Structure 1
């Protein structure tokens, strides 16, 4: 084997080593990320249990006002602010078992929450009494469908609202990408990729340089008489 063949072999080994180095850290990071994500899900489940318990207590308050569905399992709580001439938000989508609180924001005028339409068998009563100032009441929604309601004195001014109860709230798509810093991974994937690219590039330049300039005049022509 002459020097040219030896240099080609060395360059090939260096290039293969760089490629292996590029693949292994990234794979290790992905495996580590998967483990941390799994742990995060378990932690989130524990917190969800605590929130469910709190939601159950609030549902109990709704039962006292006669507006909640009986024996709800307890869920999240959403708030609709009652301001002069508007419900904020006017449209709200929730899952079954969610408690909605209507909170008057120190209003000067009197407002109420009167059901205009609702799913068959829902039996939601709203709050028909006129209230002002700082007041609130809650209802828990179990039956799926659209609940439309109005403020009777101000419906002509557009003071209407809608509660949509559905299991298809898109919650499964709301998961945000996990930040690699939160997972405790010290090296980011893009840095590993850049380093691997540079290592491969340097190996190729080194091989090219040796092939072009590294041989002596004697070894470039092995069959020539010395």
Structure 2
């Protein structure tokens, strides 16, 4: 359950709990995730991504009572939204495939939909147009790295200490200035600070 995936406090703080999605959902196109619990209305794009063959968000977690609006982008051909056979409790079915931009299909989430549902676009199921819908709080979850932005809390802990970076920059500038001075000296034969001598 949700608490089972939590490790030490420091690790848990840097991680995100996501539902355990069916493999057909996670191997689908795009792969975006949104935790929309607490929101009364959510929109899912149908025909998202560069090829127009994805749902966005691909994986969605909502509460009962949420209204989900599936909105067609007009990209990727004709699409529909339908629960995979045996794919879960929610009975998603937008009907025949449609390609019209702005077309919408609304689904009101009820208590009967609690759990995880795997749905797809029937014409494009073979090319990975799949989605997942998690409903309610009684959902099996797992820890992901979603809470980690990739940047450490203290950038000075990356590689060498931060002050050493400044030492390196100063050394590079010093070398560059030495090259410039040497070039000037070789070209003109004297230092920039040397006068042209007195009267002869």
TM > 0.5 between the two?
no
TM-score (norm 2): 0.43
Bigger Rg, structure 1 or 2: 1
More helix by share: 1
TM-score (norm 1): 0.38
